[in-house]
Amino acid sequence: MFKVTTSLACAFLLALVSNAAAAQEATAQPAAPEATQSHVELRYSPWPDVLPRPTHPGIPFGVSVGTQLYAQYSLFFPAGADWTHAFALPRAWVFSSFRVDDVIGRVLIEGTRATGDGALGVAQDSLLIRVREAWVGYRLLELLEARVGMIPTLNAPTLTRLVGMRALTRIGLRELDLLAPADLGASLTFDFPEGFGRVGAAYLNGEGYAGRELNRGKNLELMAELHPLAFIREAQPLTLVLGYTNGSLGAGATRSDRAIGGLAWSEPTLSVGVSGAYLLGIQ
């Protein structure tokens, strides 16, 4: 079968930051020390990142609202059959993040399709709205971050960002359902200074955000995103990702360990790389 696909991606973030320094810079006017100011900005944001720490002592908070929409039009030329075409909406996100001093959080709602007749209690193959993320966390010294709730996992989002081609298709490990992008649990990450990367660990249900927990086992996920040449400005996009998941899947607690690796040159204008996984217990 031959397939031609055209994609259109749209993403933006509206941020309200209580930050006297930002407001002063935007207006080019001096601000009194006791004044309460806020800075509102509308900017392109392909990912719902954590807000920067507010610096105004009077109102130490920040709020953002954003969206991501990916629209697709595909032409199909099946072997031995007539051609066909279809519109699709592979991603429809609405999200809101907040930050109060060092306390952070996010809620992310997505549009998706039910699979199979009567899935999720809805007849036929309907478009549904469901929660993908709902978590709170804490950042310490802008280096150490803890999250709890329906959190993004560590390896799947990291590899997706690394490739930077989500508007066209999911990464191969997601297409094979070997990685879940979110799950119920807790995570802890540490950002290396000077942009050398980050490491993290998460303790999760293991069934992903789209399924309920089916056994008493839990998944331990480890991740390292490294920029080994961060001290050279021109080589900062070189990225190495290493990950490992130890856990189980399904009512039978089937072993589902994965060793994950990726190497890429990743920047906004050019991304190229390779990723793969070694599976234990999954056929």
Give the residue among 48, 277, 281 at the shortest CA–CA distance from 156.
277
Give the residue among 164, 185, 165 at the shortest CA–CA distance from 245.
185
Determine the distance from the C-alpha atom of residue 121 to the mean position of all C-alpha atoms in its chain, rounded to a whole number: 27
DSSP 8-state symbol, 178:
-
pLDDT confidence of residue 209: 74
Q: What is the mean pLDDT of residues 245-249?
A: 78
Q: What is the per-residue pLDDT across 70-129, written as a single tens digit (0 to 9) for each?
A: 777 878 787 777 888 878 777 788 888 888 888 999 999 988 766 554 445 555 566 778
265 DSSP β-pair partners:
238, 272
Listed in sequence order, the residues at least 6 apart from 164 whose beta carbon sits closer than 8 Å to its beta carbon are 266, 268, 271
Distance CA 123, CA 20 (A): 52
Q: Does residue 27 have a pLDDT over 50?
A: no
Burial class (CB in 10 A: 0-12, 13-18, 19+), 154: buried
Burial class (CB in 10 A: 0-12, 13-18, 19+), 278: exposed
Q: Which residue has the higher pLDDT, 205 or 124?
A: 205
225 DSSP β-pair partners:
198, 241
Pairing of β 197-204 and β 182-191? antiparallel
pTM for the model stands at: 0.74
Tell me the CA distances in angstroms from 41 to 33, 46, 123, one per residue in order: 22, 15, 42
Q: What is the mean pLDDT of residues 30-52?
A: 55
Give the residue among 212, 253, 203, 223 at the shortest CA–CA distance from 156.
223
- Confirm if 70 and 166 have CB atoms less than 8 A apart: yes
How does the average pLDDT of the chain come out, rounded? 75
pLDDT confidence of residue 267: 78
pLDDT confidence of residue 22: 39
pLDDT confidence of residue 51: 72
Q: What angle do CA 63, 67, 73 make, to 5 degrees?
A: 175
Q: Does residue 166 have a pLDDT over 70?
A: no
Q: Does residue 49 have a pLDDT over 80?
A: no
Q: Does residue 191 have a pLDDT over 80?
A: yes
Max mean pLDDT range (53-57, 144-148, 157-161, 214-218): 144-148
Max mean pLDDT range (151-165, 168-182, 225-239): 225-239
Q: Which residue has the higher pLDDT, 47 or 42?
A: 47
